[in-house]
Structure 1
């Protein structure tokens, strides 16, 4: 049910009667129509568990148009000549309180010292791989990526297990918001993780509307990691269209340009081996990459490609999460991590 926040001050019966006669109504923002048909898409690297968390209700705040109409309804009427009414002291109207959803905390919720602390990873793997001398264990800064399929997460415990950063599933296509995004985004920040959001790209939707949808749902928050575009072929998608390489690159560029203008950060490209081979080899050399490679080091699967993050497991196990979770590592030392964060966070 659509929720509109209204607050009435002490208004005379005359003014209220005028408002009723004027037929003041609030106009809808159209969000209900956009959210009416949620997508069934999911990142292919995460298996769908049996105990699916039901979607949470997404609260709505008044649009600018609705707030304008609200203030019009609460405004005092035009002054009445003194000769027509006796002098009566009318109590001053109380200022309308801001809706809670629009109040921005005056102080950051996260202690900067806690964010700078790097925890040694203690993750396990349900399907361990012998990576040899170039094992991800040799990299000191590890993190995770999550979506609704991880359910309820104990973020403080996950942080202590070695999750120094997290990328959180935010949106798919042009009309689907992960129902756990807002909760995960808030709680990950409160636990002291560096956090960023990622978008699963649909090849049957325009790039512009997908960028608008991501921007609409992912806030511009100081300290956030750069946004991520997740590009891969997904056999479970209802959109079976595999576009020509040229068209793929064009759509990606439109999406990334729009995000970069809005957030002031160059987006990171997440991809998998088959999609990279078909479309991205030799392309976007000035963009940071996040590479999925769960059977070998990225240098073997993506020869010559520079990368920032390596997703080395889709079957990770950790305290704080029920079931499996994707594991990632940053390409560099602890000092290099701090320098990269200082340069790239919002």
Structure 2
């Protein structure tokens, strides 16, 4: 019984080190240790009222950045991207764009697709490679394709892209191959950030079931991991 109590206390301390607090208007617990909170969206979130998003504040937390889906594969364009890109900035949010990567599509054409749609301006966040599927492609071929996309996009914008990835794909494909790139990890375990390269970990998607004024349905929630003053290092 004594050992069990120690384990429970240890787990509680690990959970509490990020100062988790349930904030009812957002519908989730937020790690208040971090000072900069934001969301990511796509056409699945339908038409967004970005003014309401930017005005929302609860529990001392307001949203300061938003990543939005721009492109997918070699030809697809998110149907809400142009509107989201324009109106998020007008509402005063720091904005960023991401590309959903298809391992069975030409990486050069995928990079071209993103570049054609996303016109970064000073103050915009670095481009994001959203890597969530492998489709059975051999690891070496997949890693080569990711490298082609990243290199081409970095050369165009003069800014190193951010890699968005889950814990499994990080371990299988990213760690040891793309360690120089900023990392955005999707991990809902709440406590296991120590298993990633903390020097490159910049964003953490910690929950996918939040609520935000002006957006229908669930919203992905993120925090910026480094000191707040370093966020401009990821901007054009």
* TM-score bin, normalised by smaller chain: 0.7 to 0.9
Deviation at 1:298, TM superposition (A): 4.2
In the TM superposition, what are the counterparts of 1:37-52 in structure 2 within 5 Å? none
Deviation at 1:123, TM superposition (A): 5.5
Cα 1:187/1:258, change in 2 over 3 Å: same
* 2:101–2:129 contact (8 Å) kept in structure 1: yes
Number of residue pairs matched by the alignment: 208
C-alpha distance in 1 between matches for 2:164 and 2:137: 18
Residue 139 (structure 2) aligns with: 245
Give 1:230's match in structure 2, choosing from 127, 130, 140: 130
* 2:184–2:203 contact (8 Å) kept in structure 1: yes
- Helix, strand or coil at the partner of 1:163: strand
The structure richer in strand per residue is 2
- 1:340 maps onto 2:231 in alignment: yes
- Helix, strand or coil at the partner of 2:40: strand
* 2:131–2:165 contact (8 Å) kept in structure 1: yes
C-alpha distance in 2 between matches for 1:217 and 1:123: 34
Deviation at 1:297, TM superposition (A): 2.9
Give 2:221's match in structure 1, choosing from 295, 306, 327: 327
Residue 19 (structure 2) aligns with: none
Residue 92 (structure 2) aligns with: 192
Structure 1 spans left out of the alignment, 5+ residues: 1-120, 130-134, 235-240
* Higher Cα radius of gyration: 1
- Helix, strand or coil at the partner of 1:167: strand
Structure 2 spans left out of the alignment, 5+ residues: 1-22, 57-61
C-alpha distance in 1 between matches for 2:190 and 2:177: 22
Deviation at 1:213, TM superposition (A): 0.7
Residue 42 (structure 2) aligns with: 147
Q: State TM-score, norm by structure 1.
A: 0.57
Deviation at 1:242, TM superposition (A): 1.7
* 2:103–2:133 contact (8 Å) kept in structure 1: no
Deviation at 1:122, TM superposition (A): 7.7
Give 1:291's match in structure 2, choosing from 185, 198, 216: 185
- Helix, strand or coil at the partner of 1:171: strand
Q: State TM-score, norm by structure 2.
A: 0.82
CA RMSD, 1 decimal: 1.9
